A = this chain, B = another copy of it.
Amino acid sequence: MGATKTYIFSTKQNELAKIAKVLAHPARVAILEYISKQDACICTDLVDIIGLSQPTISQHLNEIKKIGLLKGTFEGKNLCYCIDQERWKELQDTFHLFFSNINRNCC
**Interface set of A (CB-CB < 8 Å, partner B):** 4-6, 8-10, 13-14, 16-18, 20-30, 33, 35-41, 50-52, 71, 73, 80, 82-83, 85, 88, 91-92, 95-96, 98-107
Q: A21-B21, A92-B100 are in contact. List 8 more A-B contacts (CB 8 A).
A: A5-B51, A24-B24, A29-B98, A37-B103, A38-B103, A41-B106, A85-B102, A96-B96
Q: Is the interface of A mostly helix, strand, loop or mixed?
A: helix
The answer to whether A13 touches B41 (Cβ under 8 A) is no
Contact B39 A26 (CB under 8 A): no
Q: Among the listed B4, B40, B96, which residue makes an inter-chain contact with A25, where contact means beta carbons less than 8 Å apart?
A: B4
A98 CA / B24 CA spacing, docked (Å): 13
* Nearest-CB residue, chain B, relative to A100: B92
Contact A13 B39 (CB under 8 A): no
Greatest chain B CB density within 10 A among A18, A100, A102 is at: A102
A76 to nearest B CB, angstroms? 15
